[in-house]
Structure 1
Amino acid sequence: MVIFTTNLGDIHIEVDETNAPVSAENFLTYVRDGFYDGVIFHRVIPGFVVQGGGFDTDFNQQKTRAPIKNESANGLENKRGTLSMARTQDPHSATSQFFINLRDNEQLDDMGYRPGYAVFARVVEGMDIVDAIAEVSTGAAGPFGQDVPQETVQIESARIV
């Protein structure tokens, strides 16, 4: 279990080390290293996802470890409250960034012929905090043209319990 303490409240996350061993270990290593302490949720799309894990409050991109293998064919689905690895168009490009699904997003699942976004954890307490993040007004900020919370939403600390 990982607890994100944010400036809006705590989010309790159950990590699935059985079905997503590579993604889970990657995430837990970043947590152990203190990587997420002080990073922000930099992308909020109401009714879709909230994304974080890559930038500080000044929008400086954090130095990450090497990308990991995509595990989207692990049988886990992008359902409301699940956490998935964010990535570029390259399926094997995920590093530290993750998103929390605000609704069931089956279009993000592995389709067999097309890799999806690897689910590796789920919110077990604090989904009301995630929903509160989704309600923050968004716009342009830093290097992003849209979808950035206009009020800073920060992970103050991330710890394994």
Structure 2
Amino acid sequence: MSDTAPKADLIDLELKTGRVVIQLRPDLAPLAAERIRTLAAEGFYDNTPFHRVIHGFMAQGGDPTGTGTSGSHLPDLKAEFTRAAKFERGTIGMARTMNPDSANSQFFIMFEPSPHLDGQYTIVGQVVEGMEHIDQIKRGAGQSGTVQDPDRIISMRPAAA
């Protein structure tokens, strides 16, 4: 998949265990893809935690406060739901509140397929390299998946040209 992706659609995510390459999907979610690209270029995601991580489900990050209640300085996005793609292992979705138009900076990466999310959340990308590093992110406790002393994103930037 990444062999044919334009460089502008690739994001390098550096974790303590290694490099992850994300292919953004502007064909599915142009607003969300541009948001991730913009914030990554600003260094917004650097040192942000994976604050909610649920075994067998997903790892959520992108909140600079680590509380799951905050976002970026940019306005919330309109939902870009689709049934053209599915929430499979490695899929990246935009986190939101109960309001479908509340995605901002937070995203989640799927550990396993979750068909109940299909058509309910914006799919913004896919891990195309380094999923083994996502698998090593520290898990949270209980149903909420809140992580004590969470793993953090070292850096997240658009891929170098």
Residue of structure 2 in register with 1:131 after alignment: 135
Q: What is the SS of the residue equivalent to 1:12?
A: strand
| RMSD over equivalenced CA pairs, Å | 2.2
CA distance in 1, matches of 2:103, 2:87: 16
Matched letter for residue 6 of structure 1: L
* 2:50 alignment counterpart: 41
**Equivalence for 1:120:** 124
Letter in 2 for 1:54: D
CA distance in 2 between partners of 1:47 and 1:17 (Å)? 27
- Residue 19 of structure 1 contacts residue 74 of structure 1 at CA under 8 Å; is this kept in 2? no
- Please, which moves more after superposition, 100-109 or 5-14? 5-14
Determine which structure has the larger strand proportion and give its number.
Answer: 1
Structure 2: segments with no counterpart, 5+ residues: 1-9
Q: Which one of the candidate residues 113, 116, 119 is aligned to 1:107?
A: 116
* CA distance in structure 1 between the aligned counterparts of 2:158 and 2:52, rounded to whole angstroms: 24
Equivalent AA in structure 1 for residue 117 of structure 2: L
Which deviations, in whole Å up to 9, do the C-alpha atoms of 1:60-103 show, x marking residues without a partner?
94543111011112622111101000000000000000000111
Q: By how many angstroms is 1:150 displaced?
A: 3.2
TM-score by length of 1: 0.84
- Cα separation, partners in 2 of 1:107 and 1:53, compared to 1, 3 Å: same
Letter in 2 for 1:32: A
Deviation at 1:54, TM superposition (A): 0.4
In 2: Cα distance, 1:44 partner to 1:15 partner: 21
Question: Could you tell me whether the CA contact under 8 Å between 2:89 and 2:113 is conserved in 1?
Answer: yes
Q: Which residue of 2 aligns with 1:113?
A: none
**Separation of aligned partners in 2, 1:84 and 1:60:** 17
Task: State percent identity of aligned pairs.
Answer: 35
Contact 1:8 1:153 in 2 (8 A): no
How many Å separate the matches in 1 of 2:66 and 2:52? 13
Residue of 5, 30, 45 corresponding to 2:39: 30
Q: Among 138, 148, 151, which residue is 1:150 paired with?
A: 148
Q: Report the count of equivalent residues.
A: 150
| Aligned residue identity for 2:86 | E
Instruction: Write the distance in 2 (CA, Å) between the matches of 1:39 and 1:8.
Output: 16
Distance 1:38 1:19, change over 3 A: same
Task: Give the unaligned 5+ runs of structure 1.
Answer: 111-115
